[in-house]
Amino acid sequence: MIDVVSTEIKEYLLTKFPHELTDIGMEQSIIHTGLVDSISLVMVILFLEERYEIKFDEQDLLPDNFDSIIGMSKLVIKKRKNKTEE
């Protein structure tokens, strides 16, 4: 499941935010590479909530959760798992 989510997030980032990067590693910082800024990050969060039918809580909005594709993927999977257990 993490591979599917990671691939979808990666494709979204590389398509939605024009940049000289043609690829990005799963653990590479999307902020430090300049791929996204604070405004773009809000767009990423909204995309994740809509695409995966989840809602992020205030405690989810930590830099470590959104700085890399793998961080976002793990958070999405955790939120979806919690949603199905409710």
The full DSSP string for 9-78 is: HHHHHHHHS--S-S---TTS-TTTTTS--HHHHHHHHHHHHHHHT----GGG--HHHHSSHHHHHHHHHH
Number of domains in the chain: 1
Instruction: For the chain, give the percent of residues with pLDDT over 90.
Output: 69
Position 17 pLDDT exceeds 90: no
Domain boundaries, position 55: 2-85
Q: What is the CATH number of the domain that holds 43?
A: 1.10.1200.10
Q: What is the pTM of this model?
A: 0.91
19-49 tens-digit pLDDT: 777 788 999 999 888 888 889 999 999 999 9
pLDDT of residue 48: 98
